[in-house]
A and B are shown apart, each in its own frame.
Chain A
């Protein structure tokens, strides 16, 4: 099994290095095909590992080599494939294989084709380290590694100012959270003496509650950054500047779910501190609603999907926070499939529309792009949670969890958000694929994407449809390591009312969206309508003014304080003091230079003055030595 483990882990790295070899040379197909093939290999290895685990073999645990060791600190490169990590591995390798193949077509005309695959495979490698590592330090390697790759890929089109800005924003925001994570790791180390999951979690129950709380808080801060939870969420929408396959892989399916993975992985810790769990769940519910509300009005196709991702991450955190770790993980998996599918479909549309992102400039594309239309519709249905697609099983489960755990406020919020989700998803579908063909105004002739791209997407389509049926197998598997709590609504009547009610509510939202946005005379927002001038709309379209506030109250002051520090503090105070001291000596020299007038008799006078000074010193010191005891007595009398 170790062989498969290493194959699964390192083949993306090999692929990345291989593509990097062609980094500076012009586009070669091989630089895309080989990494994709290697990822396929990685996927196969992961599948073998999954089968092995499903068939009852225990977790595979290897220790490759020592990384750091000093004093009592010992951190190895250790990898573990257990029920949790194998799930993540499957998701990561599957989605990334699909995305790689898809990207061969998508990036076809791009100059940086080779570079792109190098980065993308490097990302998969980092992600694999993240999920497979058996200790917090290894997790952190992957954590930062995916951050780096995310930076590289968001800023892939580095000539675009907005792209590089978004890349830096993403990296720095993640860094803020990483600090929290680092502190969390330090706390774990100094309290349990190790960073290995197993030993650390084993030692935790004996620790004090305060310590555990702080640990949980700091680790969760790390998770908040990667999973773009409020208030560190702004980078995710801006990250849509990257190529669409990147958005699909990194900013929907894998990297952003790392935070959820962390919480799930650290479930023994969070299990001990239910209060933090409640906090996580509340924040998750808040983000779910908050992000969905922003998605309602946005006019950027990719941003809408990004907000929907954010919203779904909120769902996952609700589940994780309420202790339903397996549910969180399950939703993570299902979400990865349909969200990646949605993004890839959006990529097809973008290609067809020459990188146009505004759905109001599209419409009626279902004729030109049938395949994409079907895929995106199914993905949206899955996202909305309509039976029997994947979203129904995972998302409704979260609602049930909230209900069963008696968190009715969270439940209500989530339910409402489910409606919003259905609305904005189908708003998008309706605007893009139905209604008038508004794109003709811009003289665009849309065309369907390459066939192999659609074929590459089909596994995702398949999974988005049937993922729900794995629920029980999956449950049996992961609950070997995760707490096995099933959530059943007590009375079956309530259950049916809830389920059907939810379904109806969601269906109503979908119909409403269709009705509103498939009209022939749909009004393109131009800032004149009453709704657009309402406060709520402005608030939402400006993302609650949070990016503006960050820019105005964080970035700007930081820049100003920095230059103030430089020009005023560093130069005018610190350095000026140093120069001032030097200057004083210089001035003293200048002034006393007159003493050396060259006039012998004046110099003789100075000489005598010097003699007098020295003699008086001699007298003073002599006297003080002679009368030392008396002086001490006198001084002590004065109270010195």
Chain B
């Protein structure tokens, strides 16, 4: 069984979702929780049997799908994908467990389980076509979640989400097909296997174009500035569970794909585009943080903060060294936990007051002290306080990128300032001051179901902030050969110099004050 654990992880939720149609409406919730818990246990089991000392792919399964074109069902897991898979299982479990009263709950749970299949599939797929299929399939349940359970603008939001990301994916598909064609031209065989693509050393011009094609797909998913506008709508309109999954897992597909595809396939192009992407990431960080500051709706604040943090992840990825990439992967997990928790928290207050406008609140700290405490912890994690999960990722991402550029890192570091500004302001508006609205006077504090989801998240937030080693070790074990591989594969001298695993800079020349070229 253990050799098929990945396929089980992928298809068990889907199978359970299909069976869910025959489950009675009243028991579907416990059914969903049970399925998601089993899935989570399976993912924990995967962690248990996963060998953290190995850097390569583990539990690889391969089944031929279209042998003529080299399309195979290949799945495998390494340190990069392992924890995102666990995170996906974890959040689906928490999400289903904490579901409040919802109409049509049966459909929602089935949708969520189906969504889980696609998410796990994306992170485990090692064949471009399989990856693409799961990537696109994940849009459908999300579309349904937003469109069926969303707010007043749900149709616009869901269609925008779908079309926008779908457009990007199509460009990516073209890139994949061309990549396969190049592989065919070079080796004479068709293959869509990512691991086989890795071995292909592409000429610089091809790298540039392919990188851009992939970039469009990934950047929209991340979402990078200026492709981010679908996200606030999607978050604003989605039900709580939709936002949670979207922020915690779906956005990570983009950044994960950068590491899985863009970096090892096109090392030279990655170096070539490092500065433009870093500039975009910095705009993302500062600009969206400022936009978040201007929001009146707490959910929008969290949504924009999500974009802002994704900027740091992208920056860490394009640091192109072990510290940065490890940090960005860790930050993916961290951001998943923290922003997921924040969306859950927003859901809690929305369930009580049916509004998300911060002006409607004020003084909640005295009415709902436990809620305020958990919100405070998560807010501080989002702000990036040391000993919380976010700090480790942010620190390492920025540390990594510092090697590439001093001034850009300084600008990106503004994240810790602007992040504090919007978060503290929002917290102050909601929780501090005196209670002004009568509706708020008797709000019940968080109940048991909600605590069930929030407490584990708070624990994880602190636990991984204090002891991130459990994650960092397997991640860096996989990242290190990746960076070395990129260094080997790079053809231009600049790329070779930029991508390196050496700790201390060889030349301690000037610390530039201006641009760090």
- A and B directly contacting (CB within 8 A): yes
Given known pairs A68-B468, A70-B327, the reply for A171 and B410 (CB within 8 Å) is no
Beta-carbon contact of A190 and B229 below 8 Å: no
Residues of B within 8 A of A164 (CB): 428, 432-433
Q: Which of A278-305 contact B (CB under 8 A)?
A: none
Residues of B within 8 A of A582 (CB): 160, 163
Residues of B within 8 A of A141 (CB): 386-387
Residues of B within 8 A of A161 (CB): 432-433
Beta-carbon contact of B416 and A175 below 8 Å: yes
Beta-carbon contact of B469 and A67 below 8 Å: yes
CB closest residue in chain B, given A159: B434
Beta-carbon contact of A171 and B420 below 8 Å: yes
CA distance A137 to B395 in the complex (A): 10
Residues of A within 8 A of B504 (CB): 190-193
Beta-carbon contact of A148 and B380 below 8 Å: yes
Beta-carbon contact of A208 and B410 below 8 Å: no
Given known pairs A171-B424, A182-B413, A558-B290, the reply for A144 and B385 (CB within 8 Å) is yes
CA distance A561 to B286 in the complex (A): 12
Partner of B511, one of A65, A211, A562: A211
Beta-carbon contact of A575 and B424 below 8 Å: no
Q: Which of A167-194 contact B (CB under 8 A)?
A: 168, 171-172, 175-176, 178-179, 182-183, 185-187, 189-193
Given known pairs A172-B424, A186-B402, A565-B291, the reply for A208 and B509 (CB within 8 Å) is yes
The 9 closest A-B pairs by CB, nearest first: A71-B322, A72-B503, A70-B476, A70-B326, A575-B229, A186-B402, A566-B294, A562-B294, A141-B386
- Interface presence of A155 (CB below 8 A): yes
Beta-carbon contact of B366 and A144 below 8 Å: no
- Interface presence of A544 (CB below 8 A): no
A569 to chain B, nearest CB (A): 8
Beta-carbon contact of B287 and A565 below 8 Å: yes
Q: Beyond the given A144-B386, A164-B433, A186-B409, please list 15 additional residue pairs across the A-B interface where CB-CB is below 8 A.
A: A67-B467, A68-B392, A68-B472, A70-B479, A71-B476, A73-B399, A148-B380, A158-B433, A159-B433, A172-B421, A175-B420, A192-B504, A561-B290, A565-B291, A582-B163
CA distance A143 to B164 in the complex (A): 43
Beta-carbon contact of B323 and A73 below 8 Å: yes
Beta-carbon contact of B386 and A176 below 8 Å: no
CA distance A155 to B469 in the complex (A): 34
CA distance A143 to B409 in the complex (A): 20
Residues of A within 8 A of B399 (CB): 73, 185-186, 189
Beta-carbon contact of A186 and B480 below 8 Å: no
Q: List 9 A-B contacts (CB under 8 A).
A: A69-B472, A69-B476, A71-B483, A190-B403, A211-B508, A558-B293, A561-B290, A565-B287, A578-B164
Given known pairs A561-B290, A565-B294, the reply for A179 and B414 (CB within 8 Å) is yes
- Interface presence of A145 (CB below 8 A): yes
- Interface presence of B365 (CB below 8 A): yes
Beta-carbon contact of B432 and A570 below 8 Å: no
A283 to chain B, nearest CB (A): 20
- Interface presence of B55 (CB below 8 A): no
Partner of B473, one of A69, A168, A566, A569: A69
Q: Which of B211-235 contact A (CB under 8 A)?
A: 225-226, 228-230
Residues of A within 8 A of B160 (CB): 578, 582
Partner of B291, one of A23, A211, A570: A570
B482 to chain A, nearest CB (A): 11
CB closest residue in chain B, given A177: B417
CA distance A183 to B322 in the complex (A): 19
Residues of B within 8 A of A168 (CB): 424-425, 428
CB closest residue in chain B, given A183: B410
Beta-carbon contact of A191 and B164 below 8 Å: no
- Interface presence of B321 (CB below 8 A): yes
Partner of A159, one of B321, B326, B327, B366: B366
- Interface presence of A355 (CB below 8 A): no
CB closest residue in chain B, given A75: B395
- Interface presence of B348 (CB below 8 A): no
Beta-carbon contact of B291 and A70 below 8 Å: no
Residues of B within 8 A of A565 (CB): 287, 290-291, 294
CB closest residue in chain A, given B384: A144
CB closest residue in chain A, given B466: A67
Spell out A's residues near B (CB within 8 Å). Answer: 23-24, 65-73, 137, 140-141, 143-145, 148, 151, 155, 158-159, 161, 164-165, 168, 171-172, 175-176, 178-179, 182-183, 185-187, 189-193, 207-208, 210-211, 214, 558-559, 561-563, 565-567, 569-570, 574-575, 577-578, 582
B514 to chain A, nearest CB (A): 13
A550 to chain B, nearest CB (A): 13
CB closest residue in chain B, given A207: B508
Beta-carbon contact of B365 and A71 below 8 Å: no
Residues of B within 8 A of A176 (CB): 417
Residues of A within 8 A of B409 (CB): 183, 186
- Interface presence of B24 (CB below 8 A): no
Residues of B within 8 A of A208 (CB): 508-510
> For B287, B366, B475, B511, which residue has the most chain A Cβ atoms within 10 angstroms?
B511
- Interface presence of B37 (CB below 8 A): no
Beta-carbon contact of B425 and A566 below 8 Å: no
Beta-carbon contact of A193 and B503 below 8 Å: yes
CA distance A468 to B511 in the complex (A): 44
Given known pairs A70-B327, A578-B164, the reply for A182 and B501 (CB within 8 Å) is no
- Interface presence of B298 (CB below 8 A): no
CA distance A190 to B405 in the complex (A): 12
CA distance A52 to B396 in the complex (A): 38
CA distance A163 to B385 in the complex (A): 21
- Interface presence of B505 (CB below 8 A): yes
CA distance A570 to B284 in the complex (A): 12
- Interface presence of B369 (CB below 8 A): yes
CB closest residue in chain B, given A203: B504
Beta-carbon contact of A191 and B291 below 8 Å: no
CB closest residue in chain A, given B289: A562
Beta-carbon contact of B420 and A172 below 8 Å: yes
- Interface presence of B363 (CB below 8 A): yes
What is the 8 Å Cβ interface bit string for chain B, positions 416-452, against chain A (1 contact, 0 not)?
1100110011001001111000000000000000000
Residues of A within 8 A of B363 (CB): 159
Beta-carbon contact of A179 and B410 below 8 Å: yes
CA distance A380 to B322 in the complex (A): 55
Residues of B within 8 A of A185 (CB): 399
CB closest residue in chain B, given A578: B229
CA distance A210 to B370 in the complex (A): 50
Beta-carbon contact of A182 and B416 below 8 Å: yes
- Interface presence of B492 (CB below 8 A): no
Residues of B within 8 A of A144 (CB): 385-386, 391
CA distance A569 to B472 in the complex (A): 38
- Interface presence of B295 (CB below 8 A): yes
Partner of A566, one of B291, B373, B413: B291
- Interface presence of B398 (CB below 8 A): yes
Given known pairs A23-B369, A70-B475, A168-B425, the reply for A214 and B511 (CB within 8 Å) is yes
CA distance A561 to B468 in the complex (A): 37
Beta-carbon contact of B432 and A158 below 8 Å: yes
Beta-carbon contact of B501 and A187 below 8 Å: no
Beta-carbon contact of A574 and B476 below 8 Å: no
CA distance A582 to B402 in the complex (A): 39
Residues of B within 8 A of A570 (CB): 229, 291
Beta-carbon contact of A562 and B290 below 8 Å: yes
Residues of B within 8 A of A191 (CB): 504-505, 508
Residues of A within 8 A of B403 (CB): 190
CA distance A567 to B232 in the complex (A): 13
Beta-carbon contact of B396 and A70 below 8 Å: yes
> For A72, A214, A559, A566, which residue has the most chain B Cβ atoms within 10 angstroms?
A566
CB closest residue in chain B, given A564: B294
Residues of A within 8 A of B391 (CB): 144
CA distance A420 to B195 in the complex (A): 73
Residues of A within 8 A of B230 (CB): 578
Beta-carbon contact of A72 and B505 below 8 Å: no
Residues of A within 8 A of B483 (CB): 71
CA distance A73 to B469 in the complex (A): 12
Beta-carbon contact of B386 and A140 below 8 Å: yes
CA distance A575 to B163 in the complex (A): 14
